[in-house]
């Protein structure tokens, strides 16, 4: 009779969960000791890095990834990263260790009250009532992670792994199929809205980041001749941002949002909420006369949308059908790609700094944009420089851009590592602020240990620049100090990662020219800490 551990490993293999991201403790040793050779173990030095790397890995592979956490301390440390995984809709199976089942009632040392510790962010949390139920719980978690697109937790007491398994009927489907065809009635209704509009526009978001969806939305936008906006604070790009019809990123306040969308009588949101805001402002999202509709694969996103029509569907199939239908019916404004004209002026890179003038973030981003291969995945976590990054570095391929939709810091470094591990054929560059990098700086050790070739460009201004600008908006002084003494490159070297500090434009060009051509085949992570001046203004 196989053990529960052996049966669970078979379930993991069946669901392609053969890479384990972990920062283990004693409650996980019975599972980990003597892992079979076909199970790859990836150590991270903090649970935030565990979940961040697993999130990047899952997004890159478009399939669930496996993470292992250590009881209360591990799950508690990972809670913020789990919230990011949920909002980024990353499918994760997270096994959480627990004390020995036989004396849990006495609440022994390291026993955890785990079921609610991560709040409502897991899409499923299960504590198997018996050891023999653990393999089935892992299978159900894999299905939940894949279909609900978020982290699914299984809490396993440490003694369960050695118990005998049972030969029972499958405790969960070996395969779970969901309908992927588009409902013709829903397609027709959305197409009718577009055809009836005299000036339609689209807003795209992270849910549309798929090769089939990009192709369909490009065809649709070209036929309708309509501008396409990217959602504000989007985790991923939903449309080629170098296309003439790409209009830019939506502003995150209602005043500017009404102004931007005011010329359109219909705005269709695809794979994006309606609409993400940051500062609260009174008033409607759009002007009277502008109708809103949304197509999304997230039921909760549809249910809270203040729109005339909300459709829940698998986006690749729906958008393909919509592109074949809209703009062809009576009254549809058919246009060909040859008739497409740019709808927005493109950002002009800044001129090089004068001699003795400090670098700005825009200088760094402009030079990156000139050199990055089209297939690069750019992972972003630089809040004060994000507007410059969006303006200067367009996403040109699906998964060309990745950020933390939750807004919590500590995502980019481990996520970039996970993306490169999950999609080794894609070059990966992380652009992070120095303040952001400190939240999961220890992730660099994992990149070194497992030979993950990512370039980490750290924009170092020695302060929380975005917080300074927000304090300025309140016309008040900030109580937090600068931290110019911190050396990110020094910490990287202490973790075994190659690092260099750049202080001038000529040095920046030399470093990028040497690094980026080698990036596609690189197995050596490197930190490029670039000293930049803090910007005086910020507009989210």
For residue range 500-519, what is the model confidence (pLDDT) as tens digits?
999 999 999 999 999 999 99
Between CA 151 and CA 529 the distance in angstroms is: 33
Report residue 437 as tokens.
């990098």
Residue 31, C-beta contacts closer than 8 angstroms, at least 6 positions apart: 5, 8, 68, 95, 97, 156, 158, 161
pLDDT above 70: percentage of residues in the chain:
93
Q: Residue 335: its pLDDT value, please? A: 46
pLDDT bracket for residue 162 (50, 70, 90) = very high
* Average pLDDT of span 385-407: 92
Domain ranges of the chain: 4-162, 184-339, 361-531
| Superfamily classification of domain 184-339 | TPP-binding domain (3.40.50.1220)
* Average pLDDT of span 210-232: 95
Instruction: Render 124-155 in DSSP notation, one character per residue.
Output: EEE--SSGGGHHHHHHHHHHHHHHHTSEEEEE
Q: Residue 331: its pLDDT value, please? A: 46
More confident residue, 181 or 14: 14
pLDDT bracket for residue 423 (50, 70, 90) = very high
Between CA 368 and CA 362 the distance in angstroms is: 10
Angle at 507 between CA 504 and CA 513, to 5 degrees: 140
Q: Residue 476: its pLDDT value, please? A: 67
Identify the weakest region by mean pLDDT among 21-35, 295-309, 446-460.
295-309
**CA atoms within a 13 Å half-sphere pointing along the CA-CB vector of 371:** 21
Pick the CATH number of 4-162 from 3.40.50.2300, 3.40.50.970, 3.20.20.70, 3.40.50.150: 3.40.50.970
248-252, 300-304, 345-349, 410-414 — which one is most confidently predicted on average?
Answer: 410-414
Specify the CATH class of 361-531 in words.
Answer: alpha beta
Q: Residue 336: its pLDDT value, please? A: 47
pLDDT above 90: percentage of residues in the chain:
74
Q: Residue 174: its pLDDT value, please? A: 76
pTM assigned to the model? 0.93
pLDDT bracket for residue 180 (50, 70, 90) = confident
Q: Residue 88: its pLDDT value, please? A: 95
The yes-or-no answer to whether 4-162 and 361-531 have a common fold is yes
Q: Residue 382: its pLDDT value, please? A: 92
Say whether pLDDT at 334 is over 90. Answer: no
Say whether pLDDT at 312 is over 90. Answer: yes
pLDDT in tens, 479-505: 767 778 889 999 999 999 999 999 999
Q: Which residue bears the tokens 């009250």?
A: 113
């Amino acid at each position: 009779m196989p053990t529960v551990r052996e049966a669970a490993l078979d379930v993991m293999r069946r669901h392609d969960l053969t890479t384990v991201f972990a920062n283990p403790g004693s409650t996980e040793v019975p599972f980990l000791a003597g892992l079979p050779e076909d199970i790859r173990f990836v150590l991270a030095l903090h649970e935030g890095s565990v979940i961040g790397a697993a999130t990047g890995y899952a997004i890159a592979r478009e399939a669930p990834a496996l993470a292992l956490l250590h009881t209360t301390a591990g799950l508690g440390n990972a809670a913020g990263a789990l919230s990011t995984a949920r909002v980024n809709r990353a499918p994760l199976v997270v096994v959480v260790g627990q004390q020995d089942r036989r004396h849990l009632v006495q609440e022994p040392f390291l026993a955890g009250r785990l079921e609610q510790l991560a709040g409502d962010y897991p899409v499923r949390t299960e504590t198997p009532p018996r050891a023999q139920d653990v393999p089935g719980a892992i299978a159900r978690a894999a299905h939940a992670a894949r279909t609900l697109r978020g982290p699914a937790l299984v809490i396993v007491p440490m003694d369960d792994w050695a118990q005998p398994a049972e030969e029972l009927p499958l405790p969960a489907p070996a395969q779970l199929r969901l309908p992927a065809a588009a409902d013709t009635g829903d397609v027709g209704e959305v197409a009718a809205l577009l055809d009836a509009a005299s000036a339609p526009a689209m807003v795209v978001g992270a849910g549309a980041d798929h090769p089939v969806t990009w192709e369909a939305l490009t065809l649709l936008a070209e036929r309708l001749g309509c501008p396409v906006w990217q959602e504000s604070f989007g985790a991923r790009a939903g449309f080629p941002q170098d296309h003439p019809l790409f209009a830019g990123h939506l502003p995150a306040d209602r005043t500017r949002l009404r102004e931007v969308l005011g010329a359109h009588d219909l705005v269709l949101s695809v794979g994006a909420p309606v609409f993400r805001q940051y500062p609260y402002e009174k008033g409607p999202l759009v002007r009277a006369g502008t109708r809103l509709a949304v197509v999304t694969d997230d039921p909760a996103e549809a249910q809270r949308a203040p729109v005339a029509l909300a459709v829940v569907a698998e986006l690749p199939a729906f958008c393909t059908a919509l592109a074949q239908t809209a703009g062809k019916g009576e009254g549809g404004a058919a246009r060909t790609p040859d008739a497409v004209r740019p709808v927005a002026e493109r950002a002009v890179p800044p001129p090089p700094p004068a001699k003795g003038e400090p670098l700005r973030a825009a200088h760094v981003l402009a030079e990156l944009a000139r050199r990055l291969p089209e297939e690069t995945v750019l992972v972003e976590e630089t809040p004060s420089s994000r507007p410059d990054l969006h303006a200067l570095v367009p996403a040109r391929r699906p998964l060309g851009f990745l950020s933390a939709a939750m807004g919590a810091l500590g995502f980019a470094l481990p996520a970039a590592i996970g993306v490169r591990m999950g999609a080794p054929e894609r070059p990966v560059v992380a652009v992070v602020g120095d303040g952001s990098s400190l939240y999961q700086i220890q992730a660099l050790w994992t990149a070194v240990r497992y030979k993950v070739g990512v370039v980490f460009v750290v924009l170092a201004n020695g302060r929380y620049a975005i917080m300074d600008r927000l304090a300025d908006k309140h016309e008040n002084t900030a109580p937090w100090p600068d931290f110019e003494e911190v050396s990110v490159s020094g910490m990287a070297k202490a973790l075994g990662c190659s690092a260099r500090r750049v202080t001038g434009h000529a040095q920046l060009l030399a470093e990028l020219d040497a690094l980026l051509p080698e990036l596609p085949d690189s197995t050596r992570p490197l930190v490029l800490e670039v000293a930049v001046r803090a910007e005086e203004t910020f507009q989210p």
